[in-house]
Amino acid sequence: MKIALCQLNFIIADIQGNANKIIKAIEEAQTNHCDLAIFSELSICGYPPDDLLDYPHFVDQCLFEVNKIAAHVKDLAVIIGSPSHNKNKFGRKLFNSAFVIQNGEIIHQTNKTLLPTYDIFNEARYFEPNTNFETFIINGKKLAISICEDLWNEMEIFNYQLNPIEELNKLSPDLIINISASPYNKGKQEQRRKIICNKALITKTPIVYVNQVGAHTDIIFDGCSMFINGKGEIIHQLPAFESCIKFIETDIQNTETNTSIPENTEINQLYQAITFGLKNYFQSMGFKKAILGSSGGIDSALVQAIASDVLGAENVLAVMMPSKFSSQGSVSDAIQLSENLGNPHQVIPINDIFNAFENSLQPIFNDLPFNIAEENIQARSRAVLLMAISNKLGYILLNTSNKSEMSVGYTTLYGDMCGSISVIGDLYKTEVYQLANYINRNNEVIPESIINKAPSAELRPDQKDSDSLPEYKILDDILELYIEKQKSIEEICHHGFEKILVEKIIRLVNNNEFKRFQAPPILRVSSKSFGRGRVIPLVSKW
């Protein structure tokens, strides 16, 4: 069979626009004499549609467009993903479905069996699981369809009782098709390849895997669609973070035809994911220009460099807002960065603003010593200026906080936590340095003086992050064990960390959940990101 793997970027709720993309791809597949064109999970509405699925007319509109698409299907078969109504008396009202269309009609429907309800997923909230396994015939070939999670039952953490691929394999299909919306996180591409190849090897059946590409606010989908032969060998893999259509012949299963799987380093994948996520966010929302506070520190420098790469340096406004505690080196470093990148930049000192706040608050503060209140006034003054410029000029404010700071509350509500999107909020500080060095791999974009200086918020005299936090390598290792790995204090201590330090760090993480609850959406690149990926009670005694 000649199959079109349609790895496309479907925007959530742009039902008609998504349908038009599908129709255009179908026409291209027909022109290239394909027998079958395959699209990703919930392609008609984009994934994840979340509570839009609670609106009956949303689902009805999806099904209307599916039937409209069917009229364009003539000389091939097509598989598309869509929600559908559960007409049974019991269970959830919807199915997560794959429709097979041929000769203008829907000839087969497969519903998703395994509904993930962990991390960023909550499909059992909306969908009823499938319990019926069938195949269908296209061009004399017996085909079986599974949907995304149906491939992942072997992961012990999920503890699924049913193996959809095993059930389908009992029907002796010639080919297993998986339509997917599998998001990116560090290490996911290799993990995904191993799982799919293992499934093909165990079943001795070729697998076609078509994944969504694109980014929906915080969730980034990398694509990497594949064709794997019955020996578990990857014959074709589509590029990551790129919309494309690939035409394959399933009868050619020699690995010599492999179109070379990109051997990207993890840091390169990470950079691709963040730039791709930010680009999609601006394109989907119709934004063109960004603003950020440029402090002369590593975090804002990295965000500025990323934004300049994505939007064009001329569309990124860097605003330096020094206070009396800011070093001259920080100001000059920030200016040098803007000159290196070619950004427009402004310097707006906040001394007078800070003094005005102090004078206004003097009757209440009286002669109380300088503390975090005055530090936060500076951060919030900067946020007010940035938001004012954003409102006046229509620039989108980028948040520059990293995951290490957000974890332990080393951020200011309504200050440096402001922003429309958090670019590096899922990167630990050590990863921030890694990406900065990656950007500088060919030439010095981010001044080395920024990379080499001791981290500081510069909100009081001679302040350093190390005054209140351990070395970032130690901090990040503890945070990863607690947040990503969900280890206990005792388990973390087994890795060689002092119990007093571990208890302090975990206490800071737990006590600052209220701040993260009010943070902007964060581009997700880890297996456990803040936001929808980690839901912790704000009020608890844990």
Residue ranges per domain, the chain? Answer: 2-263, 276-465
In angstroms, the CA 186 to CA 191 distance is 10
State yes or no: is 41 an active-site residue.
yes
Structure confidence at residue 464 (pLDDT): 78
Q: What is the arithmetic mean of pLDDT over 474-500?
A: 97
Q: pLDDT band for position 256 (50/70/90)? A: very low
Structure confidence at residue 96 (pLDDT): 98
Structure confidence at residue 156 (pLDDT): 55
Got the DSSP string for 317-360? Answer: EEEE---TTS-HHHHHHHHHHHHHHT--EEE---HHHHHHHHHH
Structure confidence at residue 263 (pLDDT): 54
Instruction: Confirm if 75 and 43 have CB atoms less than 8 A apart.
Output: no
State yes or no: is 418 an active-site residue.
no
* Architecture of the domain made up of 2-263: 4-Layer Sandwich (3.60)
Question: Catalytic: which of 21, 112, 289, 429?
Answer: 112
pTM over 0.75: yes
Token reading at 257:
């035809």
Question: Considering the domain 276-465 in this protein, what is its CATH number?
Answer: 3.40.50.620
In angstroms, the CA 125 to CA 359 distance is 53
Mean pLDDT lowest for which of 114-128, 366-380, 454-468? 454-468
φ, ψ at 449 (rounded to 5°): -65, -30
Q: pLDDT band for position 262 (50/70/90)? A: low
Question: Catalytic: which of 6, 21, 34, 41?
Answer: 41
Structure confidence at residue 157 (pLDDT): 58
Structure confidence at residue 158 (pLDDT): 66
Token reading at 284:
């989907």
Instruction: Confirm if 519 and 409 have CB atoms less than 8 A apart.
Output: no
Kindly report, residue by residue over 452-471, the tens digit of the pLDDT: 988 877 777 877 777 788 99
HEC sequence for 385-443: HHHHHHHHHCCEEEECCCHHHHHHCCCCCCCCCCCCEECCCCCCHHHHHHHHHHHCCCC
Q: What average pLDDT does the structure give for the chain?
A: 94
Half-sphere exposure of 369 (CA within 13 A, CB side): 2
Kindly report, residue by residue over 375-410, the tens digit of the pLDDT: 999 999 999 999 999 999 999 999 999 999 999 999
Listed in sequence order, the residues at least 6 apart from 493 whose beta carbon sits closer than 8 Å to its beta carbon are 499, 502
Structure confidence at residue 255 (pLDDT): 52
Q: pLDDT band for position 253 (50/70/90)? A: low
Question: Catalytic: which of 6, 34, 45, 148?
Answer: 148
Q: What is the arithmetic mean of pLDDT over 125-149?
A: 96
Output the CA–CA distances (angstroms, integers) from residue 254 to 211, 245, 364, 423, in the order listed. Answer: 23, 21, 78, 42
Kindly report, residue by residue over 39-64, the tens digit of the pLDDT: 999 999 999 999 999 999 999 999 99
Kindly report, residue by residue over 86-99, the tens digit of the pLDDT: 998 889 999 999 99
Kindly report, residue by residue over 161-176, the tens digit of the pLDDT: 889 999 999 999 999 9
Structure confidence at residue 257 (pLDDT): 46
- For residue 260, pLDDT over 60 is answered with no
